[in-house]
Amino acid sequence: MIFELLKQQRRRRLRARPFPNKWLTLIQRHVVFFQRLSGSDRGELLGHIQVFLAEKRFEGCGGFAITDEVRVTVAAQACLLLLHRRTDYFPNLLTILVYPLSYMVEEKRQVGEHVWEEGTVSRLGETGRRMGSLVLSWGAVKHGAADPADGKNVVLHEFAHQLDFENGATDGVPGLATREQQLAWSEVMRNEFASLRAADESGIPTLLDTYGATNPAEFFAVSVEAFFEQPRALLARHPKLYDELRTYFQQDPVEFSAEVV
Ligand SMILES: [Zn+2]
């Protein structure tokens, strides 16, 4: 308990520290959604960024050099997921690995009932419950920060997975406070996931990225991208899904979205 208290105290001090001007300039220049937030949300976000950057380690991969621009651009987007809620700052995550562009991995994937294909695929990001790390492509991070309304954001996607892990499972369910919330969440997500799968199979165009049809964990991550990037469209077409996400995040991105509909 004493460690918990010391941790809270340290984080309070970090949040209260004056925010470096150089970092603020970088955020204002590169992270488009920032200027659209209310003044109090901007203040809260900057406090979270101080904690995030003090606690998480960044490592460049493939010859990539980590700069302040990289650190704050990742942190600002990741910390958007923390506003208005009690948070433990992605407790399973220690290190963020950044590649310059996409990176290649060996992957085995099922293409038929008994058919597996092995090959090299390129990725823009990944994380796992037992990894303790999260991998990002800087090219994709920068693009996500520059275009806040195209429905794609690798930082929001991968950090949504980290929120999913908070209840100890990779199941598309983040840490929800009450049993009622869990039940409501499960029902809505089950139905929405099933309809995305069905649409994907019959080739019907969808608002949500059909990558979300892979499994409930990817469905959650893809929904989070749509919630923050295309909230008006999501609210119009998937009101129940929007509602669950609004309740969980305690945010209504319709208020600050750059989305044009
Ligand atoms: Zn994913």
What's the CA-to-centroid distance between 151 and ligand 1, angstroms? 14
Which two structure tokens, joined as six digits, stand for 73?
């651009």
Q: Which two tokens stand for residue 117?
A: 């294909």
Give 150's pLDDT tier (boundaries 50, 70, 90).
very high
**CB-CB contact of 140 with 102 (8 Å):** yes
Residue 23: HSE in the Cβ half-sphere, 13 Å Cα cutoff: 17
SS3 of the chain: helix, strand, coil, percent, to 5: 55, 15, 30
Question: Separation of 10 CA from ligand 1 center, angstroms?
Answer: 32
Give the span between the Cα atoms of 135 and 51, in whole angstroms.
20
> What's the 125 CA to ligand 1 centre distance in angstroms?
8
State in Å: Cα 22 to ligand 1 middle.
32
126 CA distance to ligand 1 middle (Å): 6
**Does residue 158 surpass a pLDDT of 90?**
yes
Q: Write the pLDDT tens digit of every residue in 214-247.
A: 999 999 999 999 999 999 999 999 999 999 999 9
CA distance to 89, 95, 192, 193, 234, per residue, from 238 (Å):
29, 34, 8, 11, 5
Mean pLDDT of the chain: 94
pLDDT classification of 174: cutoffs 50, 70, 90? very high
Residue 212 CA, ligand 1 centroid: distance in Å = 8
Supply the pTM of this predicted model. 0.94
Distance from the alpha carbon of residue 148 to the mean position of ligand 1, in angstroms: 18
Q: Which ranges constitute the DSSP H helices of the chain?
A: 2-16, 21-30, 39-55, 68-79, 138-146, 154-165, 179-201, 216-229, 231-237, 239-249
What pLDDT is attached to residue 39?
Answer: 97
Question: In which region does residue 122 sit, left (phi positive, over 0), alpha (psi from -120 to 50) or beta (all else)?
Answer: beta
At position 134, the amino acid (one-letter code) is L
